[in-house]
Structure 1
Amino acid sequence: MQRKIALVASNAPAAMEAEADLRPLYDFVELAEADLLIALGGDGFLLHMLHQLLDQRRSLPVFGMNRGTIGFLMNEFRVEGLLDRIAAARPYLIHPLSGDITTISGERHILPAINEISLLRETRQAAKLEVMINERTMLEELACDGVLVSTPAGSTAYNLSANGPILPLDSAMLAITPISPFRPRRWRGALVPESTSIRFNVREAAKRPVSAVADQREIRDVKTVLVTTDRSRPLTLLFDPDQGLDERIAMEQFVV
């Protein structure tokens, strides 16, 4: 059965040029009619499109081609043989995080994240956070610039920059990584099963304001953040057989 493929591109010149090269060669449909999506751009644009699919509660497989900077989650851009590449592509299932966020004023927001959910201090004063695992207090007070919870797919992004561990894609684990921790000085984070609930309670929230960021979406002046894995809305990324995401994550551990 012939697939109904939609093509979208970021507003970067290289992505728009690639879109202009592809459109005359293949029969693309509108995104609303598609059962597969090709995204042209960088990792940030791919995350944007995945969030759009999450918001629409759609589960289209996505084949990204890099017309951005890093392109860790993307395939190499080539004009020729696109349909054959899609037919041979390896699927990788990703389960996003869900952040249940309550602000000082009592507002509640539930945001998905594909890479990570982070808590960050808003002012010059360090954040003070209680860290709870499955509603059990594990750290009474973490004084830090922030802390993040990363998925395996996101473990090579902000998490790695904060000296967090790289997680194999099939590890079914989450990384909790502190950002510039002050106390306790020797705590460098934790690995927990993806079934774990992770709660952060902000101490002195008015005096030491903290924001919560789910990938690219920010909520300021938060009081509590509950992070869980949402297995009800899986996302599928497609990769060329010789450029699988699991191999990329494994190789990233040996980059010097």
Structure 2
Amino acid sequence: MNQRVHFAASKTEDAQAALALMRERYGETPIDEAEVIVALGGDGFMLQTLHRHHARALPVYGMKLGSVGFLMNQYRPDELADRVARAVPTMLRPLVMDVQTESGSSVTALAFNEVSLLRQTKQAAHVRVSLNGATKLEELVCDGILVSTPAGSTAYNLSAHGPILPLGTNVLAMTPISPFRPRRWRGAILPATTEVKFEILDPYKRPVSATADSYEVRDIVEVTVRESCERTVSLLFDPEHNLEDRILNEQFEI
């Protein structure tokens, strides 16, 4: 291969078999010397790969060997060098989640899909919502609320009846999860430059957790969410499997 490729695979039987085949057929470059990562698995494994290697700023080319493959290309073991060379890059910018907990600790994490808040007990969460320092909802009573990137808008956000966001629109989706009050509020589409702050009202009686993709922080009192200005990741897609087209087509699925 012309490119120096490092392979990564989920632990499923199919992905591990594909990993062995790829290494035998194409060889492999150590991650410290690689130019591109080829990820074998589903969307969950793609997120793990992005989190594990985002500091290296390497483009990632995924092939679907899992149950969900929205961020993956079709798995075909042949002509890998040509496919990677022809792939179209899509730049993703993650969210930064800054959390303050009841114990006084501070936690920062990245999210490529979404930042979500969820109640920890049977008690509904009571959340104050502010945008760029201005309070927009004094008290949202709900099971939770999330902020999604365009790439993540077809994941948890869509399951919560949030909007699908085309890539390149520089917007984020804010979507409540089972909102009780205000009854008619169903979320908002925000400029990507918006800084969102969630304040937990009565956190001791109504504890809430915050999750950046799969990284959870429990017993929170305040969360701020903003788009990262420093970090980006590049996903590579076959020309016939463009992520923007997939997001567009998803809006017409019934």
Percentage of matched positions with identical amino acids: 52
Structure 1 residue 28: deviation in Å?
A: 1.3
1:209 matched residue in structure 2 = 207
2:16 counterpart of 1:33? no
- Of 232, 246, 249, which aligns to 2:244? 246
Offset, 1:177: 0.1
Work out whether 1:13 is the aligned partner of 2:47.
no
Q: What per-residue deviation string (whole Å, max 9, x for no partner) do you get for residues 169-213 of structure 1? A: 111000000000000000000011100000000000111000000
Residues in 2 aligned to 1:22 and 1:4: alpha-carbon distance in whole angstroms? 13
- Picking from 169, 177, 183, the partner of 1:185 is 183
| Counterpart position of 2:24 | 24
Separation in structure 1 between the aligned mates of residue 180 and residue 111 of structure 2, nearest angstrom: 27
- What is the number of equivalent residue pairs in this alignment? 254
Tell me the secondary structure at the aligned position of residue 159 of structure 1: helix
How much has 1:58 moved relative to structure 2?
A: 1.4
Give the C-alpha shift of residue 106 in structure 1: 0.7
**Mapped partners of 1:128, 1:241: distance in 2:** 45
Taking the TM superposition and a 5 Å limit, the aligned residue runs for 1:1-256 are: 2-54=2-54, 57-256=55-254
In 2, distance between residues paired with 1:116 and 1:15?
26
> Residue type of the partner of 2:20?
A
Counterpart amino acid of 2:242?
A: G
Amino acid at match of 2:252: F
RMSD: 0.9
- Distance in 1 (CA, whole Å) between partners of 2:27 and 2:84 is 14
SS at match of 1:23: helix
The answer to whether the Cα contact below 8 Å between 2:2 and 2:81 also exists between their aligned partners in 1 is: no
- Post-superposition Cα deviations, 1:110-148, rounded to whole Å, max 9, x if no partner, equal 000000000000000000000000010000000000000
- Structure 1 portions without partners, runs of 5+: none
Counterpart AA for 1:212: A
TM-superposed CA distance for 1:238, in Å, is 0.1
Counterpart secondary structure, 1:123 = coil
Query: Unpaired runs of 5+ in structure 2?
Result: none
SS in 1 for 2:25: coil
Query: What is the TM-score when the length of structure 2 is the normalising length?
Result: 0.99
